[in-house]
Amino acid sequence: MSLKRKLVAEAAEVGFASCKVCRPGDVPQLAERLAAFLEAGRHGQMSWMAERTHWRGDPKALWPEARSVIMLAENYGPSHDPMAVLEQRDRAAISVYAHNRDYHDVVKKRLKRLGRWLIAEAEREGGGAEIKVFVDTAPVMEKPLGQAAGLGWQGKHTNLVSRELGSWFFLGAIFTTLELEPDGAERDHCGSCRACLDVCPTDAFPAPYQLDARRCISYLTIEHHGPVDEALRPGLGNRIYGCDDCLAACPWNKFAVEAQEMKYHAREELLAPKLTELAALDDAAFRALFSGSPIKRIGRDRFVRNVCYAIGNSGDPALRPAVQALCEDACETVRDAARWAAARLA
């Protein structure tokens, strides 16, 4: 059995849903597309995207010794309908990927385990190998590489879509000095479908295959610091951390399956938490509730800001006392959000 076939089998054994390979140079259009995105200012406050663009736009420059990029898909498919909570206006909608443990930690451990196996296997076959593992924390554009490797294609919402997994999967990458047979790029299967574009509450897609992060709810609730533009706040609805609308709308999700990894199974208290309870969190309580969660990264103030917007969008005057209590919060952004919400419910 070839090393490549052994690798695919081992990746499945480790727990990955799919394993494909491309060359570092298989995304020649990447630098131009990244430059256009940045030039238009569509990255918003994500200044890190404009840093190290010579690496971000060219995987070959990131590690010149790399000969192959192994792209891995990690399934986190939900067992419930993530859109259902949007109708419960006194409850909070949290993105599926953040319902339990931080995926960065889970995926990186798998990548390292697979990488160690690959090094050992290469040595057994009389050669040597070096690796570097990446999961959403380095200047690596995983989605274009995922398409180049054949894991899926970047849909009209710019996320990767798979005919086997739908939209619910994380990406990890292993760069290696080994020469592995590439799988070939996946072609686009979106056709005339516009489901992901039409469902977006804030019109974050200027055109198919283009995203303006400054209007994206995931960006606004996670990456954006300070007050959110008042014109965009109603579109947030009760989404307080991320947004799954464009992912959930994709028809290819008919092939999606529930995640096997228990660390991705939703914690009951995060499926549809009460907005009033979340609004009452101080810093210590916030840290305790979201220990080990990706939500912890944004901090209490940004989180409670989002909760205030959701309460303001609820249309329920009974929730007004929860934001009234925050109108004199120590954080200026929270005060602004609370006063906006209180005025909406007056």
- 136 labelled catalytic: yes
CB of 211 closer than 8 Å to CB of 158:
yes
pLDDT for residue 136: 86
From the candidates 26, 81, 102, 136, which is the catalytic residue? 136
Residue 80 in contact with residue 272, Cβ under 8 Å? no
For residue range 8-64, list pLDDT tens digits in order.
Answer: 999 999 999 999 999 999 999 999 999 999 999 999 999 999 999 999 999 999 999
For 27-91, give the secondary structure using H, E and C: CCCHHHHHHHHHHCCCCCCCHHHHCCHHHHCCHHHHCCCCCEEEEEEEECCCCCCCCHHHHCCCE
What pLDDT does 126 receive? 82
Please give the domain boundaries of the chain with CATH numbers for all domains.
3-79+97-176 (3.40.109), 274-346 (1.25.10)
Say what the pTM is: 0.95
> Helices H, strands E: what count in the chain?
16, 8
pLDDT the model gives residue 194: 98
For residue range 271-313, list pLDDT tens digits in order.
999 999 999 999 999 999 999 999 999 999 999 999 999 999 9
The pLDDT score that the predictor gives to residue 206 is: 98
